[in-house]
Structure 1
Amino acid sequence: MKTLIVIPAYNEELTIGSVVALARKYGDVLVVDDGSNDRTSEIAKEAGALVIRHKTNLGKGRALKTAFEYALSREYDAIVTMDADGQHNPDEIPLLLDPITKGEVDLVIGSRYLNGSKKEIPLYRRLGLWVLNKSTKVASNIDVDSQSGFRAMNRKALEKLDLNSNGYSIETDMIVKASERGIRLMEVPITVRYDVPNKHKKNPFTHGLGVLASIVSLIGYKRPLLLFGVLSMMSFIIAGILGYLALEPYYKGGNVYLTQAIGAGIFTIIGIQLFVAGLTLNVLARMVRE
């Protein structure tokens, strides 16, 4: 199979050379330099990669879409995506390609959870990944290592994926689109290193919240009744608590707390509106899909 190995990169001059050199054993290597201000492009070229450079930082999703457009314009049978920071082991590329070569699936995700390596994941990351994985499952009905960037796909999958995300939520977007369009998917075990340079180019907390917000928007599109139903239930619970606080003094011979009573009424109205909105959007979403 003619294989293209795609490596999106942003300020990865310390690791990109070795990653490219090791990956070249398994196919052509394309590095998409997403607006780096260091020597990422130069080192990648010296290591033997083709480089496409964005003038400004557009996000990982946009970098991957640039690479996918290039792959579709050439006669590549398979595409592998991996990170530029050295977390992924290029020598595991054949593990991801094997099920595709055999025609068993269209998309393979390298998972940190299948060989026990999740124990090496820092605790804060493990918690964040659990939230993102469960949220992705709600959006797609697929339970996988949703944030793994080490993946392989055949040309059929690439042609079917119409990705909208420009940021890090592209991994979840890919899974959701795969579930919608009948793309066969499986996981294989991989190892991941966390002792790499520049491992925190973004604040992990704000990065996780950004990805989660994107996933929630996908849930709102795919399953609006679930999302708005949960928000509605939360509003009713708050209304119930405020109502209890407002009436408790009255039953003890005192007065009703007006502020809490007004708050209970407001959250009750919000809960009703959210539930009605969920029902309406659910009907519209079904009509659009049909």
Structure 2
Amino acid sequence: MSEHHPYPQAVVLLPVFRPGPSLRDLVAALCADGCDRIVVVADGGGPAAEPVLAGLGPFGCTVLRHPVNLGKGAALKTGFRHAMTAHPGLDVVAADSDGQHRAADIRRVAERTGRGRIVLGVRAFDRMPPRSRFGNTVTRTLFRTVTGRDVSDTQTGLRGYPAALLESLCAVPGDRFEYEMNVLLEAARSGAEIEEVEIPATYLDGNASSHFGAVADSVRVYRPLVRYAATSLLNRRAADESLSRKSHSHPPAQ
């Protein structure tokens, strides 16, 4: 390995539900690329997942297991807690293992860690399948409308999380796909810095391997946006009413 470590500040976290051969391929590629801190969280999957997980043995990565499927958000939180204990002070780069993210993409995000920012691996919309392109466009527009911040790809699964935020990220609500939206909303609320790194939009068979449910998970993703907008509106009204009361109680001097 060269003196330059391509993952100097990062643990790579791979949450998986029903892992296929692409998981082993990705882990092998990461190891060949110099990554020596890989954590796989198997979120259920049952006996069918065990042969795939057993095949990771030669690569020396850590495999954590949920006995039943709890959701991607829960898997990410399990990985964050492990990283805080086993790799204190290191950022976490979370990625999907269904073929969307290559080792080179993960490294590009990892190389931007260590700066205290959330780093997003954002995809070019014109390379997405039509269903994914439409959903991402709508979500990006809604996110910008309710938060005032423009995030190019609100639904990317390739993200770098600063070590200093891991504990608070474990307290962000949501156990399934809505969790990643809640993280971005919390970042917008707190003013956390977000950096974007462009990555290719890679899909296998039109993203057929995705476990994102078109209806149920879309509702989970959009519900936090609606809640955030409603809360912001109520807070704005309360602030306006408070300002109005103060102006009436202190009339200008004659």
TM-score, length-scaled by structure 2 = 0.78
1:99 to 107, 112, 127: 112
2:132 to 125, 129, 134: 125
In the alignment, the residues of structure 1 paired with residue 147 and residue 208 of structure 2 have an alpha-carbon distance, to the nearest angstrom, of 31
1:86 to 91, 99, 111: 99
Runs (4+) of structure 1 moved beyond 6 Å?
280-284
Higher helix share: 1
Q: Does the 8 Å contact 1:142/1:175 carry over to 2?
A: no
1:189 CA drift (Å): 0.4
Q: State the match for 2:23 in structure 1.
A: 16
Q: State the match for 2:248 in structure 1.
A: none
| Counterpart secondary structure, 1:33 | strand
In the alignment, the residues of structure 1 paired with residue 68 and residue 19 of structure 2 have an alpha-carbon distance, to the nearest angstrom, of 15
Structure 1's unaligned 5+ residue stretches are 227-277, 285-290
User: Does 2:212 align with 1:212?
Assistant: no
Q: State the match for 1:77 in structure 2.
A: 90
Task: Look at both structures and tell me which one has the larger radius of gyration over its CA atoms.
Answer: 1
Aligned-pair identity in percent equals 24
| Counterpart secondary structure, 1:64 | helix
Q: State the match for 2:74 in structure 1.
A: 62
RMSD: 2.6
How do residues 105-254 of structure 1 correspond to structure 2 at under 5 angstroms? 105-113=116-124, 118-144=125-151, 145-161=153-169, 162-195=171-204, 198-221=208-231, 223-225=232-234
> In the TM superposition, what whole-angstrom CA distance separates every residue of 1:194-239 from its partner, at most 9, and x where no partner exists?
1157524343244323311233223333x1449xxxxxxxxxxxxx
Letter in 2 for 1:7: L
> In the TM superposition, what whole-angstrom CA distance separates every residue of 1:88-129 from its partner, at most 9, and x where no partner exists?
11112232133334x3x511101113xxxx222111211111
| Counterpart secondary structure, 1:26 | coil
Structure 2's unaligned 5+ residue stretches are 1-7, 243-254
| Counterpart secondary structure, 1:149 | coil
Does the C-alpha gap of structure 1 residues 143 and 281 become closer, same or farther in structure 2, counting only changes over 3 Å? same
Structure of greater relative contact order (alpha carbons < 8 Å, 6+ residues apart): 2
1:8 CA drift (Å): 0.4
